[in-house]
Amino acid sequence: MKVCLVCSSGGHFYELYCLRGAWHGHDQFWVTFHGQDTGYVLRDQKVYTAYCPTNRNLKNLVRNLFLAWRVLAREKPRVVVSTGAGVCVPFFLLARLRGIKTVYIESLARINELSLTGRMVYPLANEFIVQWPELAERHSKARFEGQLL
Amino acid sequence: MKTFVTLGFERRPFDRLLEAVEEGIARRIIPEATLVQSGHSQCALRQCRSIPFLPYVEMRAALKAAEIIIAHAGVGTLLECLRLNKIPISRSRTWRELAAATARHVSVATWRGA
């Protein structure tokens, strides 16, 4: 099974990388920003560099949409997994259109309300996982499966 | 006392944290920082050595060696500090920012487990 891992650099990458046991042994590739962390930790991995910043940035949303189109067509993953942030939105949108499963994990920092990215991908995610039980209680689709602590 | 100030890999500047650190050192409220990792902040520090980014391995080593860590405390730094058995102390609850909310819950959990 081929897994597509999408995230920003920094904390979002740290949280996604914490979960690497879940896809151990499967083919994988990453879509992220180049940073001190991603550049070093993913130095032996296949990485596509996304456009940043993504916060309220329409130009980069469009560029990442074209990137998602190319990457998903070329790689044909079975599942797209992301911890955010906005870079994952076009990937989730096109993944759903292509019949690719999508898994979103909301940040540990989101305790009482979803992030903007979380709210945007909520209708698109096959699995929507949160890290605080009170958040799962407020959103019917959200599942609490523990915390990255 | 080894003090490490870090803004992590955050892409946005956080000058007011660095300004507060400078003021705290000048007023002898906090120990002089051994090292400041300043990220994209432009604040010019007079009282301590700063570097924008550390290589990943050196960043983890600096966190591990520090006796006091003053951080923006994004989730990445916070989780790394917890894995290194550092005790987080949250900022004022009046701040409605990411690190204050996360640290508040984490510090409660830490006290319960202490």
Q: What is the ipTM of this complex?
A: 0.74
Q: Residue B92 — very low, low, confident or very high, per pLDDT cuts 50/70/90?
A: very low
Contacts of B77 in chain A (CB under 8 A): 11
Distance CA B33, CA B22 (A): 9
Distance CA A36, CA A39 (A): 5
Cis check: omega of the bond before B101, within 30 degrees of 0: no
Task: Please indicate whether residue B113 or residue A17 has the higher confidence score (pLDDT).
Answer: A17
Q: Is the minimum CB–CB distance between A11 and chain B shorter than 8 Å? A: yes
* Residue A56: C-alpha distances to residues A52, A121, B14 (Å): 11, 15, 20
| Nearest CA-CA distance, residue A27 and chain B, Å | 25
Q: Full-prediction pTM beyond 0.90?
A: no
Residue A97 phi, psi dihedral angles, 5° rounding: -65, -30
Start-to-end Cα distance in chain A: 28
Please judge whether A14 and B75 are an interchain contact, meaning their C-beta atoms are less than 8 angstroms apart.
Answer: yes
pLDDT of residue B90: 53
Smallest CA–CA distance from B55 into chain A, residue: A36
Residue B107 has pLDDT above 50, yes or no: no
Distance CA A51, CA A33 (A): 7
Contacts of B80 in chain A (CB under 8 A): 14
Contacts of B11 in chain A (CB under 8 A): 9-10, 52-53
pLDDT of residue A70: 98
pLDDT of residue A18: 93
- Give strand ranges (E) for chain B: 3-6, 35-37, 50-51, 68-71
- Percent of chain B at pLDDT > 70 equals 75
* B74-100 burial code (b ≥16 CB/10 A, e <16): bbbbbbbbbeeebebebeeeeeeebbe
Residue B47 has pLDDT above 50, yes or no: yes
Q: Which residues of chain A have pLDDT under 50?
A: none
Q: Is the minimum CB–CB distance between A108 and chain B shorter than 8 Å? A: yes
pLDDT of residue A140: 95
Beta bridge partners of A30: A5, A47
